[in-house]
Amino acid sequence: MGRTREAGCVAAGVVIGAGACYCVYRLAWGRDENEKIWDEDEESTDTSETGVETVKGAKTNLGAGSGAKLQGDSKVKPEVSLGLEDCLGVKEKAHSGSHSGGGLEAKAKALFNTLKEQASAKAGKGARVGTISGNRTLAPSLPCPGGRGGGCHPTRSGSRAGGRASGKSKGKARSKSTRAPATTWPVRRGKFNFPYKIDDILSAPDLQKVLNILERTNDPFIQEVALVTLGNNAAYSFNQNAIRELGGVPIIAKLIKTKDPIIREKTYNALNNLSVNAENQGKIKMYISQVCDDTMVCRLDSAVQMAGLRLLTNMTVTNHYQHLLSYSFPDFFALLFLGNHFTKIQTMKLIINFTENPAMTRELVSCKVPSELISLFNKEWDREILLNILTLFENINDNIKNEGLASSRKEFSRSSLFFLFKESGVCVKKIKALANHNDLVVKVKVLKVLTKL
What does the pLDDT look like over 42-96, one tens digit per residue? 444 444 444 433 333 333 333 333 333 334 444 434 333 434 344 445 444 444 4
Confidence of residue 158 (pLDDT cuts 50, 70, 90): very low
* Angle at alpha carbon of residue 48, lines to 46 and 52, rounded to 5°: 115
Question: For position 283, what pLDDT does the model report?
Answer: 95
The pLDDT, as a whole number, for residue 194 is 82
183 pLDDT tier (thresholds 50, 70, 90): very low
- How many CB atoms are closer than 10 A to CB 256? 17
Residue 270 pLDDT grade (very low, low, confident, very high; cuts 50, 70, 90): very high
Pick the more confident residue, 225 or 3: 225
In angstroms, what CA-CA distances link 387 with 228, 300, 382, 394, 431? Answer: 33, 23, 9, 10, 11
- The 8-class DSSP code of residue 399 comes to H
Q: Which fold has domain 194-315?
A: Leucine-rich Repeat Variant (1.25.10)
Q: What is the DSSP string of 209-258?
A: HHHHHHHH---HHHHHHHHHHHHHHTTSHHHHHHHHHTTHHHHHHGGGG-
Mean pLDDT throughout 239-243?
95
Average pLDDT over residues 393-411: 88
Per-residue pLDDT at 280 exceeds 60: yes
Q: How far apart are CA 116 and CA 123, in angstroms?
A: 11
| Helix %, strand %, coil % of the chain (to 5) | 65, 0, 35
- Percentage above 90 pLDDT, the chain: 50
Q: For the residues 428-446, what does the mean pLDDT come to?
A: 93
pLDDT tens for 4-57 read 777 777 777 777 877 777 766 666 655 555 555 445 544 444 444 444 333 333
How far apart are alpha carbons 342 and 336 in whole angstroms?
Answer: 10
Distance of alpha carbon 120 from alpha carbon 243, whole angstroms: 71
Assess whether pLDDT exceeds 60 at residue 273. Answer: yes
pLDDT at position 396 is 94
pLDDT (0 to 100) of residue 200? 84
Q: Please report, as a single letter, which amino acid is at residue 8.
A: G
Q: In the predicted model, what is the mean pLDDT of residues 393-402?
A: 93
Q: What is the mean pLDDT of residues 425-447?
A: 93
Residue 117 CA to residue 98 CA, distance in Å, equals 22
Give the residue, 19 or 99, on which the prediction is more confident. 19
Computed over every residue of the chain, the mean pLDDT equals 74
The gap from C-alpha 226 to its chain's centroid, in whole angstroms, comes to 20
Residue 202: its pLDDT value, please? 93
Between residues 46 and 354, which one has the greater pLDDT? 354
pLDDT, one tens digit per residue, over 366-381 is 999 998 999 999 999 9
> In this structure, how many other beta carbons lie within 10 angstroms of the beta carbon of residue 150?
19
Other CB atoms within 10 Å distance of the CB of residue 159: 12
- Give yes or no for residue 179 having a pLDDT over 60: no
The whole-number average pLDDT for the span 420-437 is 90
Confidence of residue 453 (pLDDT cuts 50, 70, 90): confident
Is 448's pLDDT higher than 50? yes
Q: Write the pLDDT tens digit of every residue in 112-128.
A: 677 666 666 555 444 33
Per-residue pLDDT for 228 more than 60? yes
103 — alpha (psi -120 to 50), left (phi > 0) or beta? left
Amino acid identity of residue 249, one-letter, is: V
pLDDT score of 369: 93
Which pLDDT band, with edges at 50, 70 and 90, does 161 fall under?
very low
Q: Which tops the pLDDT comparison, 113 or 425?
A: 425
Q: What is the pLDDT of residue 139?
A: 34
Q: Name the residue among 276, 278, 280 with its Cα closest to residue 313.
A: 276
pLDDT at site 172: 42
Task: Quote the CA–CA distance of 253 and 297 in Å, as a whole number.
Answer: 18
Query: Is the pLDDT confidence value at 149 over 90?
Result: no
Name the least confident of 99-108, 300-309, 319-328.
99-108
| Percentage, residues of the chain above pLDDT 70 | 62
Cβ atoms of residues 388 and 348 within 8 Å? yes
Quote the CA–CA distance of 436 and 382 in Å, as a whole number: 14
pLDDT of residue 277: 94
Confidence at residue 175, expressed as pLDDT on a 0 to 100 scale: 42
Contact 373, 337 (CB under 8 A): yes
